[in-house]
Structure 1
Amino acid sequence: MRYLTLSAGLLGAALAGPAQAENPVLTVYTYDSFISEWGPGPAVTEAFEAVCDCTLNMVATGDGAALLARLQLEGVRTEADIVLGLDTNLTARALETGLFAPHGIEAALDLPVTWDDPVFLPFDWGWFAFVHDRARTPAPPTSFRALIDSDLRVIIQDPRSSTPGLGLLMWVKAAYGDEAAAIWEGLAPRILTVTSGWSEAYGLFLDGEADMVLSYTTSPAYHIIAEEDDSKAAAPFDEGHYLQIEVAGMVADTDQPELARRFLAFMLTDEFQSVVATTNWMYPAVTPADGLPEGFEGLHQPETSLLFSADEAATLRDGALDEWRNALAR
């Protein structure tokens, strides 16, 4: 009987083998909020698996900036086929690792800037902003200097682990240049806490722990659409607002290059892009055929968009990080 059982097991494995071989796994490293139950991950997984004859394995790695750190640590041994959630403040450093390959995809994108990067492909974009509650903070500051002069408490994210945190460093540097260190010294007393990622920061703000939180001009759309609550707003800053363009890239040593390219191409279809606005709460990189959902039309549209090139951001990062760290250490 043991022989018969073993034979049946081997036969079952043999029969399962071809089916498994026909059902490859594509592993995507991304940030925590993307694959949360309320993020794009579940809907994206269902939609892609319906057309790819594959298994989409999305792996959370912390917040956005932690993606690159993990990939660098794993190197060529990484299990990732796609990395989704870097932004233009990180792409030059990511390219230097030699761990990414060109995607070879032609795309017509709806971005506020021209895009010609052959390695990284955008999937959404937005402007950073400080979000406040209209009832608790009816007259928010309209600049970094006004924030410094206020008695408000704000929550920000760590630029070493979070793309919004790094985006804030670039925002201050783009707006103030050589005066950035002085701005950080003024901001330090206003900062209640620094979290490792966006989700924790925004949750603390919603719990009433702070007056404002570093987020996006699109964040109020969530409350308008999902909660029918218009009490949250993004504070318009006179200096302008820094752009974030989120991207995905194909790992050079992937053993599923064709499937990886299929995913990147799928990322720009309506099936993916229509999910972005109301789950990631950002502007889609390609506007869906039905347009943006109601609730986006009244959001703040900055008159001035600030953005360093990927190379400029890489050059400025370490110095900006030192300015931030020195100010908060005092």
Structure 2
Amino acid sequence: MKYLALAAGMLAASAAVAETPELTVYTYDSFVSDWGPGPVVEKAFEETCGCDLKFVGAGDGAALLARIKLEGERTDADVVLGLDTNLIAAAAETGLFAEHAVTADYDMPVDWTDPHFVPYDWGLFAFVHNADRDAPANFRALADSDLKIVIQDPRSSTPGLGLLLWVKAAYGDEARAIWDGLADNIVTVTKGWSEAYGLFLEGEADMVLSYTTSPAYHVIAEEDTSKAAAMFDEGHLAQIEVAGVLASSDQKDLAGAFLQFMVTEAFQSAIPTTNWMYPVVVPEAGLPEGFGDLPAPDRVLLAPVDSAAAMRDEALAEWLDALSQ
């Protein structure tokens, strides 16, 4: 009888595991790192969903879209988290994403009405440097300096793409000349943000493309005030990061619940001190103290979503041509 009871127990446990729905979310590597939002978000959502939330790191943001395009309807992903406003038009054109029904009281630089994608954080691109070093006030001054910079590849990285669109939004037809000037400042171009920031911290460059919020990490997590974000008088390009549900998902209700969870207190309160970005819905307690001292640019630039693809193609061609000289 003991063996029959043991066997019955094992069968019941196996059935329970089999009945637990699994939600697969493709995202970028830093999101699922030990210090990123992934572990906090996974624990909080699983406490409410009765499911197994599975994050899959897939490089940087731009690499996510490339992977989804390659996998198409065969993808294992239910949700893609980590695209941004510079990629959502191209993502929607694939026809691979379903519409959502999420509503929230957003606090962002733009009104949000996109039918396919839900925002979860936002930030402003900036070059981070050691605070004891004088920083240039614009791209022209950076190009005229002997400062060495690390940037990310726009073909695989959303910050890298953001830099191209930042220069294009600020300079228009003069963007190519800016890249001609910047070419000899670039130490290397990395695949993603993590590699670039690591090289900067190791002293391999004077500045790294990141965000105005990056110094807050050093202040809050390390009690280190030695990093600063350079303020450029051309303005700073805003990045809004988003998530969307795959139309091929067999867990659409659960995926929709996850997108709605993204704009709740449990998710949004984790963003400032794990992803080091601004939340799209300000938590009840407000922003952490270290965020209050962050500089604010005089101008916030936005790349129009409907023309981002054409703008990206032109900017990428200018960038490749300038760096190949």
TM-score, length basis structure 1: 0.95
Superposed CA offset, 1:187-233 (max 9, x none): 10000100000000000000111000000000000001011111100
Q: Distance in 2 between matches of 1:268 and 1:114?
A: 15
**How far 1:16 moved relative to its partner?**
3.5
**How far 1:317 moved relative to its partner?**
1.1
The aligned runs of 1:1-330 (5 Å cut-off) are 14-135=11-132, 137=133, 139-330=134-325
Q: Distance in 1 between matches of 2:223 and 2:7?
A: 57
**How far 1:65 moved relative to its partner?**
0.5
Aligned residues: 324
The residue type paired with residue 252 of structure 1 is A
The residue type paired with residue 295 of structure 2 is H
**How far 1:9 moved relative to its partner?**
9.6
CA separation of 1:92/1:9 partners in 2, compared to 1, >3 Å: closer, same or farther?
Answer: farther
**How far 1:118 moved relative to its partner?**
1.2
TM-score, length basis structure 2: 0.97
**How far 1:8 moved relative to its partner?**
9.1
Superposed CA offset, 1:249-282 (max 9, x none): 0111111111001111111111100000000000
Superposed CA offset, 1:18-42 (max 9, x none): 3124310000000000000000000
The list of structure 1 runs, each at least 4 consecutive aligned residues, that deviate by more than 6 angstroms after superposition, is 7-10
* Unaligned runs of at least 5 residues, structure 2: none
Q: Distance in 2 between matches of 1:311 and 1:20?
A: 44
**How far 1:134 moved relative to its partner?**
1.4
The residue type paired with residue 229 of structure 2 is A
**How far 1:12 moved relative to its partner?**
6.1
The residue type paired with residue 80 of structure 1 is A
Q: Distance in 1 between matches of 2:107 and 2:19?
A: 35
- The DSSP-based 3-state class of the residue aligned with 1:303 is coil
- The DSSP-based 3-state class of the residue aligned with 2:291 is coil
Deviates more, 1:88-97 or 1:20-29: 20-29
Q: Distance in 2 between matches of 1:305 and 1:142?
A: 15
- The DSSP-based 3-state class of the residue aligned with 1:68 is helix
Superposed CA offset, 1:301-327 (max 9, x none): 111011112111111111111100111
Q: Distance in 2 between matches of 1:249 and 1:145?
A: 37
CA separation of 1:309/1:13 partners in 2, compared to 1, >3 Å: closer, same or farther?
Answer: farther
The residue type paired with residue 259 of structure 1 is L
Superposed CA offset, 1:53-77 (max 9, x none): 0000000000110000000000000
Superposed CA offset, 1:153-201 (max 9, x none): 0000000000000000000000000011111111100001000000000
- The DSSP-based 3-state class of the residue aligned with 1:295 is helix
The residue type paired with residue 178 of structure 2 is I
The residue type paired with residue 175 of structure 2 is A
Aligned-pair identity (%): 66
Deviates more, 1:171-180 or 1:19-28: 19-28
**How far 1:300 moved relative to its partner?**
1.2
Please provide the CA RMSD for this pair. Answer: 1.5
- The DSSP-based 3-state class of the residue aligned with 1:19 is helix
Q: Distance in 2 between matches of 1:314 and 1:56?
A: 32
